[in-house]
Amino acid sequence: MKIRVGHLYPDYLNIYADRGNIAVLARRAALRGLELEVTAIGIGEEVTAGGHDLLYVGGGQDREQALIAPDMAAKGPAIAEALARGAVVLGVCGGYQLLGRFYRDRYGSELPGAGVLPLHTLAGERRMIGDVLLECSFDGSPRTLAGFENHAGRTRLDAGAEPLGRVVAGFGNDGESGFEGCRLGRAVGTYLHGPLLPRNPWLADWLLAQALAHRSGGEPPELAPLADELESQAHAVSAARARARGGRS
């Protein structure tokens, strides 16, 4: 079975090795005899509802975000429809911000977003940089996520919106709320770079299983467990660095 991935703006939004998330999904799929079919979706190119099982958008500097934001906003309805039909959406940092309503940069320019996630982002003076550790719960199981953040944006979730996790160490969405990221159905938005998925293989598998459910129209399958020795070590090292850094500083 082929899992169809739409990679939004790979030439503009790809910093801190965010492209590596696609490589991890492809490798973990292949280890289960599955194939990932990745299509780049650029400016002026369509997001066809039903055409992808997973849509991915990485991070980028304000300059690159400004170049794609009007196009991302125009794609908002199609991304929202894909999500409503059960496709998976993963947005990292700058991509996460532009899945929301807007990102206002530190000069006051408002970059329009897709309006898919219930949030908006305002850039602050001081960048929030460093290793991050989150506690979260997926399908009722307690989990941790470890990664690296580097953003000026302070993301405010709407009242009642679901964060991805609670910040154990690091800044997270805004350095104040104590939460990081956002979840909405099969959509996940996060500030965690690194890239995110090599050090958090359980999330890669969750995304793959949800994408397979979209592809088959059935339930998310139980994927065969993988050894993940290196991945667990990478997670442990990243988590230890974050803990060493402590709270929101």
Q: Could you list the residues that contact ligand GLN (CB under 6 A)? A: 15, 59-62, 65, 93-94, 123, 150-153
Strand pairing category for 187-190 and 88-92: parallel
Radius of gyration over every alpha carbon of the chain, rounded to an integer in angstroms: 17
Phi-psi region of 33 (alpha: psi -120 to 50; beta: other; left: phi over 0): left
**Residue 92: CB partners within 8 Å, gap ≥ 6?**
18, 21, 57, 58, 59, 189, 190, 191, 192, 193, 195, 196
Is 193 a catalytic site residue? yes
User: Closest distance between ligand GLN and the C-beta of residue 171, in Å?
Assistant: 11
Q: Minimum distance from CB of 2 to ligand GLN (Å)?
A: 29
| Helix-helix angle 201-216:20-30, to 10 degrees | 70
Nearer to ligand GLN, 65 or 238 (CB): 65
The residue among 190 and 200 lying less far from ligand GLN, judged by its C-beta, is 190
Question: d(Cα 169, Cα 190) in Å, to the nearest integer?
Answer: 15
The dihedral through the CA atoms of 128, 133, 12, 230 has a sign that is positive
- Supply the minimum distance, in Å, between the C-beta of residue 231 and ligand GLN: 22
Minimum CB distance to ligand GLN smaller for 152 or for 169: 152
Which are the contacts of 61, defined by CB distance < 8 A and separation ≥ 6? 15, 94
The active-site residue, picked from 7, 52, 93, 136, is: 93
Known active-site residue 120: no
The least distance separating ligand GLN from the CB of residue 167, rounded to whole angstroms, comes to 16
- Nearest to ligand GLN by Cβ — which residue? 59
How far is residue 154's CA from residue 156's CA, in Å, rounded to a whole number? 7
Point out the catalytic residue in the list 52, 120, 151, 193.
Answer: 193
CB of 3 or CB of 192, closer to ligand GLN: 192
**Closest to ligand GLN by CB, 15 or 74:** 15
Point out the residues that are catalytic. Answer: 93, 193
